[in-house]
Each structure stands twice: as structure tokens, then as C-alpha cells.
Structure 1
């Protein structure tokens, strides 16, 4: 389940890069979440799941939908217009390090190994970002994916409150509809609805809607419920390698030696942080 999630999640950056070449990013996401959300709610109803949520759970679902779907994915889809998919996935791979740091600020004690992992992982990202920015990467696009991963950190901290009991698919559908509603005004205010309906857009949109959008999100909720957020986040260790490999394979994005060194360093930092927190 964890490896499948990592593979689906890492592939999202490549499919997003393809899709935004043919349609505006916020409008794409708005339609994607509307379709995914309605499918999830229909499936949940078929399975007998009902949305009986407390006030706190409703707030968690709305907060998760806004942080992950509107801010994180909105920022990444917008940035995909100007930066490589491999750079976006590398920045997004900061997630488990940022979650560990946020938990430390909330009072969780980190071991020396975990602290070293945090530092090493951040150094790896800085190595790659300095090289890419020096090579002409769009600073605004980089800033957007950084904002996005900070929002995803907040969403991850909310995920337990947003996934009550056996109603996982219903909750996933609801938070996707929250994302669609949040992205609609952004699209109407900032974008011209010009769509170049090519087969590449159809394939990329269908894939990103059903696989990273629906299946990966359901898998993540189930994984967190099954093994907890700390152990589940361990599988993000695979995202830098998988994301860079998929982008290189499908998009032909060039990788330099510093990129490969940075990815290895980030993976080592993530692994150190997560292994230090296992029981």
C-alpha cells in the first residue's frame, strides 16, 4: 500500500506538467476535483458509507481540502507552467521533514539521529535549488512549490481528524469537493478559459483525476489509519527518486550530478528522521 501510494503520488507531477500545457491550471484542478469528488461520494454511498461528522471533523475536512487541494496542488499546477516536474517533486519531498519539524515545535522530542536527518534533508534540497536557480529556474515557480509543501504539511497534520472510522471514501470525496469550490473563484478571477483539446490533455487529465487524484488519496487515508502518520510518512522517502525518474523517463528532463547527489541526500535525511521515530 505504501509503495503504491509513493508511485502514484510521484507520478502526479509529470501528469500535471503535461496537462497545464493545454489548459489553465486552476480550471483543470477545479474540474478534476469535481469529478473525483462526485465519483468518491457515489462509491461511498454504494458501499453504505455516510457522513456523520462532528463539528471538529467537519472543520478538519474543510481545512484538509483547502490546504492540500487548493493551496498545495493549486500552487504546484501553477508552477508546472514554468518549472520542471523533477524540481517540484524534490521540493514536495520535504514533507516528512517538515512534519517532523512541526511536531518538534509542538513538543515532540527528536533524537540526535532525527535532528541530523532534518539538517541533511534540508541541505539536499538547498543543493538542488541553488543549482536549478543558478541554471535559470523560475524563482516564482520555485516559491509557489515551497508555499505548496508548507500547506501540505498542515494538511498532513490534519489528516487523522479528517478520516473518521470506516467513512474514508466519503470523506475523501467531500474534501475534493471543498477543493473544487475553493479553486473555482481563483480560476474565474485569474484565468482565461482557453483549452487546447489534444489527446495528451485527455490522457493526462484522466490519469491525474483517477490515479493521483482519487486512488492515491484514498490509499493515503487508509495507510494513515492503518499504521499512523509517522510510519506512513516513511514512504515519502521514495518520492524524490520515483518522481525524478518518472519525469526523466516520460518528459525527458535532464538531470545533473548535483541533482542526483541532492536526491540521495534528501532520501537519506527522510529515512533517518522516520527510522528514528519508529517504536
Structure 2
């Protein structure tokens, strides 16, 4: 793999994983859905403005528009909406670990619903990955984890799986990528605005930490990470790009530990290592299958 693609993959994995820690700061001080809807609105408008300045337009194919709607609903409104609500009571590290199981869910969904054959390496990876999640969940439940928050995280991971399956359509053709990023964020903002206004009260505890976390979330995980992901998929393909997801459990818990001071037990460390090995095995199996 070329060095540029490697650096893009590492940057995406770190930016994607860091979102859980910054989101935790936000939701402890402001309404989660209102904050997320505003984040998408700002990120989307910035993305579209930059795209227009670069000469991009919204003359997209029907498949791209359909994928934008699916991606905006599945990733932005459902996956991130559910996670923003969940991390009010669930630690950022646990939310990151659950979300990181997405490559495992994609492989399982391909086998269960699309008739894809799994190589022995992929079967091992699935067993190891889900086993690692089980180890962490068993340890966390013993310390009183909020099961409702965990259920929301799991539902979000399933929604992210659907979003991932739509990425190829959204990035088809290799053009107007930043415009696509901006448009799918506006979709998420519009969908979340209704439940935010209906169920939340605008009560905010203002601080510089909130301002910094919100600004970072808008610009880095919100805009830059999504753009880099689409560029990476366009450069090396969705299968190879997805390999970098094996780093998400490590980056997720590391950033949460450093930034938020979340404690990590021995079972967390063991579980994260097993999950990373499982995800890497699954993705390597998919790469080999595609090349073969």
C-alpha cells in the first residue's frame, strides 16, 4: 500500500475514534440531538461552500443522491444520533468499542443476507471479534454499565453497517466528493431537527471545554474524517480502506483515557486486543478474496 493511502487511513481512524471523547464532553453540557443537528448544519454548509469554491456541483447521479440520503439517515441521524444519546450514560471508550464492531457486522451481514462465503480466516476473525466484545461487556456489566445506553450503541452500530454498505454508491465516479459530504450532513441535520425540538429543552452549561469540543467535532470527525474516508475509498477501494477500522478500538479507548481520564481494566485491554485481531483478520480475508 502506498504511503499516502497509509497516512490517510491512519488519519481517518484517529479522527473517527476521537469523536466519542469530544461527543462525551458535548452531551454532558448540552442537549445531544440539538447539538448534533447544529453540528451537521454547520459542517454541511462549510463543506458545500468549500466544494463550490473548488468548482464542485450537485449535478449528481441518481445512485449518488440515493446513497446520500441513505448515508445521511443511517450514519448521521441514526448511528450518531443514537450514540450521542447513549454516551450521556455510557463511557466514550465503551461506545467506541461497540461502534468499532461495524466491520464484523458488515461481514456477518454479507454472509447472512447476501450469501457471501466466508473464508476460514474471516470465520476466525468474526469469532475472535465478537468474543472480544463479549469479554469487555461481561467486565463492564459487572461494574454497573447502563444497559439502555449499551442497547442504543448496538442499534447505532447496526445503522452504521447499513451506512457503510452505501458508501460505494456515494463515492462512485470519484467526483464532487466534498459536495457529497456536505449534502449528507445536511440530510442528517434535517432529520434530527424534528426529534430535537420535540423532545429536548435548550439547556446548556457553557464552558471553553464545550466550545472546544464542539468546534473540534464539527471540523475534524464531522467534516475532515468523512472527506478523508471518501477519498480513501476512491483511492484504494472500500475493502482495503475498511481494513483501517481495526485501529478504531485502540484509538477510541486511548483518546478517552487521555482526554477524559476513563479507567481501563485488564479485561478492557485484552478485549480490545482480541477485537483488533478479529477485525484485521476479517478485513484481510476480504482483501485476499477480492484479489483472488
- TM class, shorter-chain normalised? over 0.9
Counterparts of 1:144-183 in structure 2 under 5 Å? 144-164=152-172, 165-183=174-192
Q: What is the Cα deviation at residue 24 of structure 1?
A: 0.4
Aligned residue number for residue 242 of structure 2: 233
Aligned residue number for residue 120 of structure 2: 112
SS at match of 1:113: helix
Whole-angstrom distance in 1 between the partners of 2:180 and 2:286: 28
Aligned residue number for residue 261 of structure 1: 270
Q: What is the Cα deviation at residue 142 of structure 1?
A: 0.3
Question: Is 2:244 aligned against 1:220?
Answer: no
What are structure 2's unaligned runs of at least 5 residues? Answer: 1-7
- Root-mean-square deviation (CA, aligned residues, Å) is 0.9
**Match among 242, 248, 260 for residue 251 of structure 1:** 260
- Deviations along 1:62-109, one digit per CA (max 9) or x if unpaired, are 011000000000011111100110100100110111111122231322
Aligned residue number for residue 22 of structure 2: 15
Whole-angstrom distance in 2 between the partners of 1:179 and 1:277: 30
SS at match of 2:168: coil
Aligned residue number for residue 184 of structure 1: 193
Counterparts of 1:185-200 in structure 2 under 5 Å? 185-200=194-209
**Match among 32, 48, 61 for residue 39 of structure 2:** 32
**Match among 80, 88, 93 for residue 95 of structure 2:** 88
Whole-angstrom distance in 1 between the partners of 2:198 and 2:40: 18
**Match among 123, 126, 131 for residue 134 of structure 2:** 126
How many residue pairs match? The answer is 279
TM-score, structure 1 as length reference? 0.98
What are structure 1's unaligned runs of at least 5 residues? Answer: none
**Match among 55, 58, 80 for residue 73 of structure 1:** 80
Q: What is the Cα deviation at residue 229 of structure 1?
A: 1.3
